[in-house]
Amino acid sequence: MKKMFQEADDQLKSQILDQIPTPVLAVNSDLKVTYINEAGRMMLRKPMDKILGASCRDLIATDQCGTEDCCMLKAISTGNAYGARTEISTADQNIPVEYSAVPLRNEQQEIIGGVEFLIDITDRVLYENRLREQSHTIREMSTPTIKLWEGVLVLPVVGVVDSVRAQHMMESMLNKIAETYSKVIILDIHGVAAVDTAVANHLIKITKATKLMGCECILSGISPAVAQTIIQLGIDMESINTKSTLSDALLQAFIMLNLEVKQKI
């Protein structure tokens, strides 16, 4: 009678696990599959007799399999739960997943294997990729290095300058300098409403980096409020060539390149 109730209880547990919409599998201490629910069988697209007894790495291969990063190995060896994000390879597809592994214990609380739960995050990864692409596009639009004249570039800056944007500005400017062999670049900050110590230090680093590329940097568009802030902060800007307006900066660039603009009569 006890055995019958035990079998009924095991059947109920199996039915419950089959209702879970994500793959669940159990392995023994040798990492051989001892159980898999319906979602797992659907993901593997294999009959049960091809799954049970097979090595989990032969069914669900990842870069972590057989390494110290394998969550199942860590769960079995330490008795703790572990989780990670990876990509699994089945017979005919690659699936990005988040998975968790927990130790499987018997009635004596001895570890006899492990249980693994997998969540397909394909839609999330696609969404994250779209966000990265949009972020990259926005950064490109917010830091357009423009060829204003032969040998002269301009980068108009609008909005807030943080460390990430400053790094992107520097990369954009240096790449454009290398591409066009320009000798002068104008960094116009007319659209920057506020400057603090961090922003000023970013600007100084950018001008030094461009000089290492053999290109002189002119900083233009410094408003009275920004100029006053720089003085109050005690930031040394003497090494930077500054002009109040973009037109003044362009005129200075022409002088540096020995160019002269004459009005046509």
pLDDT, tens only, 172-214: 889 999 999 999 999 998 888 777 778 888 888 888 899 999 9
Q: Which residues pair with 186 in a beta bridge?
A: 154, 218
Per domain, the residue ranges of the chain are 18-123, 136-256
Helix (H, G, I), strand (E, B) or coil at 87: strand
For the segment 85-109, the average pLDDT, to the nearest whole number, is: 85
| 8 A C-beta contact, residue 206 and residue 215 | no
For the segment 86-101, the average pLDDT, to the nearest whole number, is: 82
Give percent of the chain with pLDDT exceeding 90. 18
Give yes or no on whether 18-123 and 136-256 have one common fold: no
Specify the pLDDT at position 28. Answer: 92
Q: Mean pLDDT across the chain, nearest whole number?
A: 82
DSSP code string of 160-180: ---HHHHHHHHHHHHHHHHHH
CA pair distance 179, 101, nearest whole angstrom: 50
Q: How far apart are the first and last CA of the chain?
A: 112
Confidence of residue 168 (pLDDT cuts 50, 70, 90): confident
- The answer as to CATH 3.20.20.70 being correct for domain 136-256 is no
| 8 A C-beta contact, residue 129 and residue 160 | no
Specify the pLDDT at position 264. Answer: 66
Specify the pLDDT at position 218. Answer: 93
Provide the sign of the torsion angle of the four alpha carbons 29, 35, 37, 42, taken in this order.
Answer: positive
Helix (H) or strand (E) holding 4: helix 2-19
Superfamily of domain 18-123: PAS domain (3.30.450.20)
